[in-house]
């Protein structure tokens, strides 16, 4: 099957998608309109020819009943499939062979996935990406989108009532998500994103869509056990566990929690407290791989861990 590629497949112009019977999917693109149109015509013709050949093979394998042979011949001129076969048979066979040869040559020389990515035809996602892989791609230990959102909120949103607690327009948040994922030049000062709650909503969505939460799955029970300890031992236990996390998790966690601490410090204006921030971010940043037991109890521990880190941020991350 061949068709023009949708925008979620590629943001470049003149891109069409080719799907084979075996399930292979290819994106084909050229900035030259003539070239891409020629390819599209050749591939379409070849696919149509292959479809007809398959139809004819099926017809040949199906035995006819002697009693209806005469009726079939009379109906041939009315059968659209027969008419299509007759039309295609008029095409020069050498042209068909040439088309097939060109298509085969193209498919055997198709570039690797990595080469396609390097040329910009396929964009790696930001939302839903593995944190370590995303940071490696960006050559940093904290995702650029996270830093961009935090900088914007600290400049324009620290005194906004209910910051992070109030939900933004989901449709606009999804548009922002799309823009980030498709590597569009993102300017948060654009009027499209003028609602600060859209920015905070997108940041929360980014953490929510991580395939593994910021506090990784394999440490969930350890963090829960740490918060159950005596108050004087909790900080040390949590601090030691954070040091065991991958570097991108540690650095992203530190920049996020220091930002949330500044949000709380402006609580007289935005009415956000340690508890309210913990309620918003607890279940997003810290969750078990599989929910077992009492979810309500888990939620309490999740919130308590986030609140403890915010309260003891200098002891855990240093000044």
User: In this structure, what DSSP letter does residue 155 have?
Assistant: H
Q: Kindly report the CATH number that applies to the domain delimited by 2-49.
A: 2.30.29.30
Q: What is the pTM of this model?
A: 0.64
Among the listed residues 262, 253, 247, 237, the one whose alpha carbon sits nearest the alpha carbon of residue 286: 253
Name the residue with tokens 């029970």.
221
- Kind and range of the H or E run holding 28: strand 25-29
Instruction: Name the residue ranges covered by the structural domains of the chain.
Output: 2-49, 131-317
Give the tokens for residue 13: 């112009």
Topology (CATH) of 131-317: Phosphatidylinositol 3-kinase; Chain A (1.10.555)
Q: How far apart are the first and last CA of the chain?
A: 60
Give the tokens for residue 207: 């953490």
Give SS3 for 292: coil
* Tens place of pLDDT per residue across the chain (319 aa): 888 877 666 767 788 888 887 767 788 888 777 888 888 888 888 887 775 555 555 455 444 444 444 455 455 555 555 555 555 555 567 777 778 888 777 777 766 666 665 665 566 789 999 999 999 999 999 999 999 999 999 999 999 999 999 999 999 999 999 999 987 688 999 999 999 999 999 999 999 999 999 999 999 999 999 999 998 899 999 999 999 999 999 999 999 999 999 999 999 999 999 999 999 999 999 999 887 767 778 889 999 999 999 999 999 998 7
């Amino acid at each position: 099957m061949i068709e023009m590629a949708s925008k979620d497949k590629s943001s470049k112009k003149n891109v069409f998608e080719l799907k084979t019977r075996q399930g292979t999917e290819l994106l084909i693109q050229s900035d030259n309109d003539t070239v891409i149109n020629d390819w599209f015509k050749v591939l379409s013709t070849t696919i149509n020819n292959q479809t007809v050949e398959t139809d004819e093979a099926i017809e040949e394998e199906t035995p006819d009943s002697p009693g209806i042979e005469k009726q079939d011949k009379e109906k041939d001129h009315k059968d659209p499939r027969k008419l299509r076969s007759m039309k295609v048979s008029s095409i020069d066979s050498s042209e068909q062979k040439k088309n097939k040869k060109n298509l085969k040559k193209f498919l055997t020389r198709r570039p690797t996935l990595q080469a396609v990515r390097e040329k910009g035809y396929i964009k790696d996602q930001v939302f839903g990406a593995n944190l370590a892989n995303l940071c490696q791609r960006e050559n940093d230990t904290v995702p650029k989108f996270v830093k961009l959102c935090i900088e914007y909120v600290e400049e324009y949103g620290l005194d906004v009532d209910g910051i992070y607690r109030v939900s933004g327009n989901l449709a606009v948040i999804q548009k922002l998500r799309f823009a980030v994922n498709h590597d569009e030049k993102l300017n948060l000062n654009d009027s499209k994103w003028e609602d600060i709650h859209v920015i905070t909503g997108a940041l929360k969505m980014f953490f929510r869509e991580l395939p593994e939460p910021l506090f990784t799955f394999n440490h969930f029970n350890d963090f829960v056990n740490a918060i159950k300890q005596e108050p004087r031992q909790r900080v040390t236990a949590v601090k030691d566990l954070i040091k065991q996390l991958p570097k991108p998790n540690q650095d992203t966690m530190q920049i996020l929690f220091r930002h949330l601490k500044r949000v709380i410090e402006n609580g007289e204006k935005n009415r956000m407290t340690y508890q309210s921030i913990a309620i918003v971010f607890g279940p997003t940043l810290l969750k078990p791989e599989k929910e077992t037991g009492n979810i309500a109890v888990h939620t309490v521990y999740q919130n308590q861990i986030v609140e403890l880190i915010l309260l003891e941020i200098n002891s855990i991350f240093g000044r």
